[in-house]
Amino acid sequence: MSHLAPRYRGVFPVVPTTFNELGQLDLASQKRCVDFMIDAGSTGLCILANFSEQFVLSDEERETLTRTILGHVAGRVPVIVTTTHFSTQVCIERSRRAQALGAAMVMVMPPYHGATLRVGEPQIHEFFARLSDAIRVPIMVQDAPVAGTPLPAAFLARMAQEIEHVAYFKIETAGAASKLRELIRLGGDAVEGPWDGEEAITLLPDLDAGATGAMTGGGYPDGIRQIMDAYTAERREDAAALYERWLPLINYENRQAGFLAAKALMHEGGVIACAAPRHPWPDLHPAVRAGLMQTARRLDPLVLRWAR
């Protein structure tokens, strides 16, 4: 295992999608959100992920967001675009458009729909192989419980070895560190980017297992960067202390507030104009929001000061 020069490593948080009170895209807030996330130390960004509420967006809005965000980032940091779709053809079309607009990488879940529609490993392999043949940028396989599709480490490693652009893996399933360790052992150099996900709730064990990247929520990249930077500089004790310091907020996002945490923090700090999700997703409960702010204020993250 070398991982000496992965193209991408570090902290690549998910950019939330900002709406106004009427549930329309708020592109002015969207640009401020991106500027804040870059200023807060994001190594790169990821858009149109589940934490971006991709499931409430139309195809036209996806196009608008990709064009707007990539245009506004203007090469300051690399941007990963999520292009998941059940259809191989639609996923290819989405990925080609993302590539044409300047995406550094695409992130894709295995084909799934609803709670029960799945395909087996031969179809998943073929899906990623066809996608790889159609594009030039790296592919990140998102191994997340929401897809309900078991992706054993051996299968992921085989895809890395057999499919040209399949090189990055965001592992968010239970026992992520053990799976990352096994994936790296089996896949060797073909696994260019073994990454942590799920809001960094398992970040330290995942780094110990060999993770080189983290895809977290977008509310406090400065906090995640502190942990990653210390670890990368081989100061594990410092990284552990920082992880323990930020863990209450990481836990609050992961277990209580979910994908609305980043927007609530950004709204509180004046970065964005409205923290609301899109109907029918319920608003953050006032008590949950209060607990989130209480937890965040102890840490003084940039999000609460950036726009002041």
Kindly tell me if the per-residue pLDDT of 161 is higher than 70: yes
pLDDT digits (tens, 9 = 90+) for 226-254: 999 999 999 999 999 999 999 999 999 99
pLDDT digits (tens, 9 = 90+) for 163-178: 999 999 999 999 999 9
Q: Are strands 45-47 and 105-108 parallel, antiparallel or unpaired?
A: unpaired
pLDDT digits (tens, 9 = 90+) for 114-145: 999 999 999 999 999 999 999 999 999 999 99
With a pLDDT cut of 90, the percent of the chain lying above it is 98
Amino acid (one-letter) located at 149: T
- Comparing CA positions, the residue from 136, 42, 30 lying closest to residue 92 is 136
In whole angstroms, what is the distance from residue 62 CA to residue 98 CA? Answer: 10
Q: What is the pLDDT of residue 308?
A: 87
The chain-wide mean pLDDT, for the chain, equals 97
**SS3 track for the chain:** CCCCCCCCCEECCECCCCECCCCCECHHHHHHHHHHHHHCCCCCEEECCHHHCHHHCCHHHHHHHHHHHHHHHCCCCCEEEECCCCCHHHHHHHHHHHHHHCCCEEEECCCEECCCEECCHHHHHHHHHHHHHHCCCCEEEEECHHHCCCCCHHHHHHHHHHCCCEEEEEECCCCHHHHHHHHHHHHHHHCCEEEECHHHCCHHHHHHCCCCEECCCCCCHHHHHHHHHHHHCCCHHHHHHHHHHHHHHHHHHHHHHCCHHHHHHHHHCCCCCCCCCCCCCCCCCHHHHHHHHHHHHCCCCHHHCCCC
Residue 3 banded pLDDT, cuts 50, 70, 90: very low
Kindly tell me if the per-residue pLDDT of 224 is higher than 80: yes
pTM score, two decimals? 0.97
Kindly tell me if the per-residue pLDDT of 290 is higher than 70: yes
Kindly tell me if the per-residue pLDDT of 21 is higher than 50: yes
In whole angstroms, what is the distance from residue 87 CA to residue 89 CA? Answer: 5
Q: What is the pLDDT of residue 4?
A: 57
pLDDT digits (tens, 9 = 90+) for 292-301: 999 999 999 9
What residues pair up with 118 in beta bridges, in sequence order?
112
Kindly tell me if the per-residue pLDDT of 258 is higher than 70: yes
Catalytic residue, chosen from 31, 170, 179, 263, is 170
Kindly tell me if the per-residue pLDDT of 2 is higher than 80: no
31 is catalytic: no
